[in-house]
Amino acid sequence: MENFNVAILGCGTVGSGVAKILLDMNHELVDRSGKKITLVKIVDLFPAKSASAYNLPLNLFCGGGKDLTPAEASQYIDEIIADQSIDLIVETIGGTGDFLFKVFIDALQAGKPVVTANKAMLAERGSAIFETSNANGAMLGFEAAVCGAIPVIRAISDGFAGDKVVEISGIMNGTSNYILTKMQDEGLDFDTALKMAQEAGYAEADPTLDVSGGDAGHKLCLLIKLAYGVEVDYNHLLIEGIQNIKKEDIDFANELGCNIKLICYARKMNGKIYAAVKPMMVKYDNLLSKVSGATNCVKLENKYTGHHMFVGKGAGSLETAGSIVSDIVFAAKYGYSKKMNAESDFELVDPDNFEFPYNITFSTADYPGITGLVTTAIGDELINIETVSHNRHGSNKTLFSLATMPCTLAQIKRAIGRIRAKAPNVLLDEPVILPILK
C-alpha cells in the first residue's frame, strides 16, 4: 500500500491533537484514504512539554526529543520541505510573521500540500499563498481555520458547488458568544462575564482579538473568498467588538424580542459586497439567537436550496485537529487542489450605506420633550419608526431606545446631527446603534 507521510510544524494545543488523532486512527484512516497515512516528523521547540499533552512518542520529534533553538527548528523545517518522502505539511505554529509566511510559500512551491488552522495568516496575507498554491498545484487545506470542528469550508466549496450562496450570517467566535450569553442569562456586566470566560478557559489572558471581533473578521474574510470568489482586504472590513455592550443594551434587546450576538455578515448583490462583523440584535425566531455558550454557528442562505445551518464547537485541541485530519485524508485520497481564484471587479459597500432595521439607544439629559425631539429628527430623515421604548429615568439622565424600519446608517447619523444642532447638550453619550437581524 502506498505511504502518505505527514510532518507537523508546531505541536502546541492543536498540533498535539493532530498527532494524537493520526496515531490513534491509523487503521481507520487507511480505509478512508486508500493510503497509509503516517506521521513521520514533528518540529517543536519544547518536545517534552508538547508530548505530555497526549503522551506522544518523543522519537517523532526532530532533535530526538531535546529542546530546540529557533535556528535549529528552522533548519529542520527546511529539511522537511526539501524531503521528497514527506507528502504533506501541517502548519500549527500560528501567527502572521515573515518567517512563517515564507514557510507557506516554500512548501507550496515545492509542491507539498499544506494544511493549516491559521485563519489570521490566510485572511491577512493569503493572496500570495493562494496564488502559490494554484501555480504549483499544491493543495492548501484550511477547513480548521473557520469554526473549528464545523465542516463549513467543504460545504461551501464542494457541497454547494451546484448552488450560489446569497447571504452568510453567523456566530464565529465562541469567546464572545459565551460572554454575551452570560450577560443575557445571568444579568452580568461585560467585565464580570469576561472574567468568567477566562476562568472557564474560553478567553485568553489577553482577550482582545476575540472580544474586538478581529478573530471573527479573519474567518469572515475566508468565507467571503470561498462563497463569492472575491478577496476582501481584512483591514478594510468593518469590525466592531462586544466590549462596549452594556446591560441596558441587553434589556432593550429583550424588549424587542432579540438577543445580542456578535454576527459575521456578508451578502453579494449586483457585484457589490456587503460585509461586517458587529454586534446585532437577533430576533428570537432566527435560530442564531438560540446559539448559546461557546458554540459557533454559520447560517447560509442559498439561491436554489434555501437556508442551511452548521452548528458545533468552534475551537479546542481535538475539535480543530479533527478538521485538520479531514483535510489530510482529502489530500491523500484525491491529491488535488481546488483553485482559489479571486475576482477583482467588485465593490465593498460603505457600511454607512447598509440597509437594516436598527435599534438606537439614547442616553440624554432629563429633558422635557426629549422623545418628541428625537423622533422628529428621525422622521425628518425619512426613517420610519417601528417602536419606541419607555423612558428610564435616573441620576439626572434618561435612557430610551427606538427601533426603525429598514434604513441606512447614514440616515441615522444625519438624524443624530439634527438632534445635536437642535439641543447641543442633550446627548450625554454617543447613541448605541445596533442592526436588527430578522
| Residues acting as catalytic residues | 219
Grid cell listed for 100: 512563517
Q: Is 10 left (phi over 0), alpha (psi -120 to 50) or beta?
A: left
φ, ψ for residue 89, nearest 5 deg: -115, 130
At 82 the three-state DSSP class reads helix
The amino acid at residue 164 is K
Task: With residue 296 as reference, give the H or E element that holds it.
Answer: strand 295-302
CA distance 416 to 47: 58
Task: Pick the closest to residue 282 from 183, 170, 368 (CA basis).
Answer: 170
How far is residue 27's CA from residue 30's CA, in Å, rounded to a whole number? 5
Sequence-distant (6+) residues with CB within 8 A of 31 are: none
Residue with cell 459575521: 264
Side-chain-facing half-sphere of 34: CA atoms under 13 Å = 6
What is the total residue count of the chain? 438
Degrees, nearest 5: CA angle 142-330-268 = 45
Q: Would you say 258 and 282 are in contact if contact means Cβ atoms under 8 Å apart?
A: yes
How far apart CA 205 and CA 193 sit, in angstroms, is 14
